Amino acid sequence: MSDPQVSPKVNKSQFVKNILSQIGALSKNPPENWRSQVEEALEKNNLKVHRVTIYQIRSKAMQGMKRKNPIVVAKTNVRRASIIAPASLKVADLYAIKDFAKQFGGVDRLKEAIKALEAFIN
């Protein structure tokens, strides 16, 4: 039998990663007071993690995201593309359109050209 006063062990690193993710601190531009938000969440849960360790956990988590990033971005773009565009468009098509839009002067200018083209065809 387990002692009711003994609480289960918490994975502090995972706890910190979850908080960092929730507050948007796993990005190049984290919220201004991200570290204090993590420290407050730790305190509320009676957990102690050194400040340096918090920075190390964030750094490692961000390095892991960099390695996974191209796959995650591709999946995200595919989902968005299926909502906005026909299923026949591939991620490579979207990147090509994005590059063309940049060369053409931006998305707004490209939209205007498409409207004019639609009027011309119809």
Q: Which residue has the tokens 């995972």?
A: 14
Nearest to 20 by CA among 41, 39, 38, 42: 38
Percent residues over pLDDT 90 in the chain: 17
Q: pTM of the predicted model, to two decimals?
A: 0.49
Q: Identify the band that residue 109 occupies on the pLDDT scale cut at 50, 70 and 90.
A: confident
Number of alpha carbons in the 13 Å side-chain half-sphere of residue 52 = 0
Q: Per residue in 12-40, pLDDT tens?
A: 888 898 889 888 888 888 888 999 999 99
